[in-house]
Amino acid sequence: MPKYAIVVHGGAGSITKTNMSDGVIQAYQVELKKALDAGAAILKSGGTSIDAVEAAINIMEDSPLFNAGKGAVLTANGKAELDASIMDGKTMMAGAVAGVRDIKNPISAAKLVMQKSDHVLLSGKGASQFAKLQGLTIVPNSYFITDKRKEEWKAMKNKEKENNEKDKHGTCGCVALDTHGNLAAGTSTGGTSFKKWGRIGDSPIIGAGTYASNSTCAVSSTGHGEFFIRYVAAYRVAAMMEFKKSTLAEASNFVVNDLLKNAGGRGGMICIDHDANIAMPFNTEGMFRGFIKSDGTVKIEMFK
């Protein structure tokens, strides 16, 4: 039987058993499993890795638990600004949106940029106009803002606490291999808490936050975006596999736990290759992550 597999992450940061109750841990596990199941159902029926990635990330975007879509962290101006990207390992086509405030599911907009436009990255109002023309759901910015994020924003506004590490690294992502042997990757985020001046991180940047190529691997990153951009983190894993003949595990572990860590970059990534090998390295206290394979293996983890 042809292999398939899907991997998701819900962010990396200060995720420890001491600062999360059993109820909160269980809630995250339930949402991660829902995302995995949504993507796996598509793969099992012979669907594409691109559609599986979109479906899985849609679940996380619609959940208030993650820093993507509903539940995204707020900017210094108290707004939600969202970024997302997706890439097809078969065609090397990619799409992304950045700094959008009213697209319910940014990963779906990124997919349409890839499929229905001549471009890779659309931003701000232009991305919203494109999404409307494509029939995507447009919502008021208040849709994304939860009570939890309001309270965090108020605390930061009053200088009562610093940016929360988990919020900095709460990006959502998915990588998948379908039964046709094609890889895909996608990433979606609300960015960093209290960000200013239209800051954009690595999530909508192809090669930094997202990368996929059938010849090597698919990667979705989460962490301190500026470092992932500077070191072209997602692509570097693929480059090491292609040019150094490193394994997926060797390449991803080097990028996360040597290159980025030594430079001061915190975070992690999920990766899969064309043989359904999976790697999920991170250099923070924890990372929400999990996978389902066609052989029936299911795994969901949060801590080291």
Catalytic residue ranges = 171
At 138, list the tokens.
């447009």
**Single-letter amino acid code for the residue at 251:** A
* Alpha carbon 14 to its chain's center: 17
Phi/psi for 3 (5° steps) reads -80, 150
**Is 176 in contact with 87 (CB distance < 8 Å)?**
no
Q: Say which residue the tokens 């599911």 belong to.
A: 105
**Is 248 in contact with 271 (CB distance < 8 Å)?**
yes
Instruction: Give CA–CA dist 191/174, Å, rounded.
Output: 17
Instruction: Give CA–CA dist 182/179, Å, rounded.
Output: 7
Instruction: Give CA–CA dist 128/148, Å, rounded.
Output: 26
Enter the DSSP assignment of 163: P
